[in-house]
Amino acid sequence: MGNEIISSLVTSLALTLVLELLFALICGIRRWREILLVILVNVMTNPPVVLTHNLMRLNSPVFITIALEAAVVAIEGFAYKYSASSIKRPFLFSFGANVFSYLLGLLALHIYNGG
Amino acid sequence: MKKSTISGKFTALFLCALLISAISGFAIADVIWEPEDDFYMSHAEDCEFYGKGLYSNGESGYLEFFSKPEGVGIGFAKNGELFFSQFSYASNDETWFVVEFTRNGEHIAPPDYSGDIEFGWVKLSDTIEQYDSADFLEQFSAEISSGEFTEDSLISMDIIAWTYPCSGEICEMIPDVDEALTFSNTYTDAEGRRWGHCNYYYGHRDFWVCLDDPTSESIPAVTQQELVFHQPNAETPPAATGNSVTMIIIICVAAVVILSASLIIALHKKNSADAQK
């Protein structure tokens, strides 16, 4: 059981990092400090959210998912605002990055499940 | 890079991702009822239809429910409760069943459809399968005659449908039956009463009718299944499975969060220091 949770955490974080870094690169973020910041904010926010879903048996109501994702966008937005001077719209960037990774992650899961 | 270019790229990316996700997200509803359980939905092809009752009979005196096969424990039901499962899943050396339930205080209880219904998984080894029509047909196969027939005397009657002969358990009352009621098996009980087994009649499935007394609701029961349940050693259930491992994982995730937050703060201070130079 523990192995499954750990596997879920690692897989989700890896996929999120790949997608959000891709989004950041597409949006023109090139400085290594800001790339590092993108990595750190996702390491900070992704595992707690995934673990929460696992502990709630992944049957959490939609509003819980929305609340968690909104909190993630806000926290990441603040991190970008105070630590990344070149990101002019930190909350919009955070929102876009999270929507991008969430939707493409959903697509990847759908393909993995043979949908 | 110009703001308009970034904004345009962002908009295009967002719309593409939304479109792709919307296309891949369509699902066609299936006519078969399926549990709204996340593990079941992601492993439906590996699950088999079951459709039987299960008595709780954990060795500790309580039946433990799990979040998913080999998942975290989510609660306990007292032994002797009757649950129903539609689907099973084989995992390593254990068979698991997905079950509906309702929380009743500290314990888990059979579903109360006037309240909140939840789903959980239980092990076959912690249950006793309910004796049903299929078991009766197998046990008394030598005494059961097969062959389709109708019973004209039942037409227009309100008949009682039983789970199996002399079960003492009524499935339902079927009103005003017609000539479409067809039986496929016949059994004569110890008292000489004839019983007919019907596989399907206008949505009513797998039931028995006492052909000699089709409207009686008081046909005595003959026990086919002796139920002996494990007695609890304590008033309260044991500790849930997997919680110690889960606690360790929670602590590790918290440590990762604190460490990454510290690094972000350090990065912020570094940027501020460089900006002042």
Each domain of chain B, given as residue ranges in start order, spans: 38-129, 133-210
Q: pLDDT tier at A83 (50, 70, 90 boundaries)?
A: confident
Please determine, for residue A58, whether its predicted confidence score (pLDDT) is greater than 60.
no
Could you give the number of structural domains in chain A?
1
Please report the pLDDT score of residue B259 as a whole number: 96
DSSP chain B: --HHHHHHHHHHHHHHHHHHHHHHT--PPPSS-----HHHHHSGGGEEEEEEEEEE--TTSEEEEESSTT--EEEEEETT-EEEEEEEEEETTEEEEEEEEEEETTEEES--TTS--EEEEEEGGGEEEPP-HHHHHHHTGGGPEEEEEE-GGGTT--EEEESSTT-S-EEEEE-S--TT-EEEEEEE-TTS-EEEEEEEETTEEEEEEETTSTT-S-PPP--------PPPSSSS--PPTTHHHHHHHHHHHHHHHHHHHHHHHHHHHHHHHHHH-
Instruction: Considering only residues A70 and A5, tell me which one the structure prediction assigns the higher pLDDT.
Output: A70
Same-fold call for B38-129 versus B133-210:
yes
- Taking CB atoms and an 8 Å limit, are A104 and B248 in contact across chains? no
Residues of chain A contacting B39 with CB distance shorter than 8 Å? 58
Please determine, for residue A62, whether its predicted confidence score (pLDDT) is greater than 80.
no
Q: What's the pTM? A: 0.60
Please report the pLDDT score of residue A59 as a whole number: 52
State mean pLDDT over A76-103: 90
Kindly give the parts of chain B with pLDDT less than 70. Answer: 1-32, 242-243, 277
CA atoms of B72 and B66, how far apart (whole Å): 5
Query: Which CATH code fits B133-210?
Result: 2.30.30
Residues of A with CB under 8 A from a CB of B: 1-2, 4-6, 9, 23, 26-28, 33, 36-37, 40-41, 43-44, 47-48, 51, 55, 57-59, 79, 82-83, 85, 88, 92, 96, 99-100, 103-104, 106-107, 110-111, 113-115
Q: Which range of residues forms the domain containing residue A107?
A: 2-112
Please name the residues in contact with B170: beta carbons below 8 A apart, sequence gap of 6 or more. Answer: B160, B161, B162, B163, B217
pLDDT in tens, B86-97: 999 998 789 999
Average pLDDT, rounded, for chain A:
86
Please report the pLDDT score of residue B264 as a whole number: 92
CATH class, B38-129 region: mainly beta
Please report the pLDDT score of residue B241 as a whole number: 74
pLDDT in tens, A21-31: 999 999 999 88
Please report the pLDDT score of residue B225 as a whole number: 83
B267: region left, alpha or beta (phi > 0 left; psi from -120 to 50 alpha): alpha
